[in-house]
Structure 1
Amino acid sequence: MTMLRFRRLALRDEKGSIAVEMAFVVPILATFALGAFEIGTIFSRQQELQAAALEGETIALAVARGAQIHVDEIEDIIKTTTRLGDDNVNVTRFYRCDADANTVDNPALCIAEGEGEVDGETTEEGGEEANKPVVSSYLRIEVTDSYTPVWKDFGIGDTINYDVERTVQVS
């Protein structure tokens, strides 16, 4: 009978049950909170890099009408915006000759022998009209970065590498 009485008392006594439940729930909730914070940080940085590349693209398009685009200035603006170093931001100019699928680094390579300057107009040479090549100018904006989440310290996941690339036709 003593055993039966002890069983009834044990079933009615709920003291300490919340402490036991919290011992299971709190670590799980803390892990979820850490994960949510890390995911938010990862997406926020990706958005920041995308916005910086878009800002460089917008600047390139804004000054495309007449003003010369200095790629160093665009790089400096992106570096300032993203707090990145020289190795993480790269702005390069390249050209396309007429409708050629290949691109070149120098617009002078588009000019064939004796065709004059690059401006998309025609010239007269030797009494005949010759077409000058149409040279399209492009900017490639590359922004790279990496982020090591806290959960990597627990053996979960790896460093996340960001690589944002935008190409804009300037002329």
Structure 2
Amino acid sequence: MSARNIIRSLSGALPDRRGVAAIELAFTLPVLTFLSLGAFDVARMLSAQIDYQQAAAEVASLALARPPQSDTAYLKQAAMSASGLTEDKVTVATSLTCNGTASNSSCASGQEQARYVIVTLNGQYAPLWTHFGVSQTINLDVVRKVRYQ
């Protein structure tokens, strides 16, 4: 078969575009699948972060409604309940400032005092898809500070 005959037989197949879409889909489908898995993982991480932020906001609201005198255990318990975190991942502390300066004791008379509750949640997110992209756990830390007095 000569080159002229080969070109003539192939020229009839060039205008035929049947099956092109299937071939293009075969090339793009793996890429789209990986992008979808990554987007799903990022959405789950953002959802967990928002859950922790909402839990910290609930505890801050509770501290405003029922200010702690000295014991913050009920606030810590509320934070653990709202966030689903364990005791070692939740910290609730109080602080005092006198005229804008941190203090460990009571303020002298005439000084402006402010009391705060600081809620710290140390969550983590472990991605489901670790083969590509993020392959380690991500810290989702939330700190909420509210003045109650």
With normalisation by structure 2, the TM-score equals 0.82
**RMSD after superposition:** 2.4
Percent of residue pairs bearing the same amino acid type: 29
| Corresponding residue pairs, total | 145
Q: 1:91 to 1:9 in 2, by over 3 A?
A: same
* Correspondence list, 1:6-155, <5 A: 6-64=9-67, 68=69, 70-96=71-97, 98-99=98-99, 101-104=101-104, 109-110=105-106, 131=109, 135-154=113-132
Say whether residues 1:4 and 2:7 are aligned partners: yes
2: distance between equivalents of 1:143 and 1:11? Answer: 64
User: Match of 1:43, SS?
Assistant: helix
Q: 1:140 to 1:3 in 2, by over 3 A?
A: same
User: Match of 1:81, SS?
Assistant: helix
User: Match of 1:11, SS?
Assistant: coil
1: distance between equivalents of 2:147 and 2:38? Answer: 40
Contact (CA 8 Å) 2:52, 2:83: kept in 1 or not? yes
Partner of 1:161: 139
Residue 31 of structure 1 deviates from its aligned partner by: 1.6
List runs of 5+ in structure 1 lacking aligned partners. Answer: 113-130
Higher mean Cα deviation, 52-61 or 70-79?
70-79
User: Match of 2:122, SS?
Assistant: strand
Structure 2 residue identity aligned to 1:6: S
User: Match of 2:12, SS?
Assistant: helix
Contact (CA 8 Å) 2:49, 2:140: kept in 1 or not? yes
Q: 1:111 to 1:102 in 2, by over 3 A?
A: closer
User: Match of 2:101, SS?
Assistant: coil
With normalisation by structure 1, the TM-score equals 0.73
Contact (CA 8 Å) 1:145, 1:163: kept in 2 or not? yes
List runs of 5+ in structure 2 lacking aligned partners. Answer: none
Contact (CA 8 Å) 2:107, 2:113: kept in 1 or not? no
Structure showing greater Rg: 1
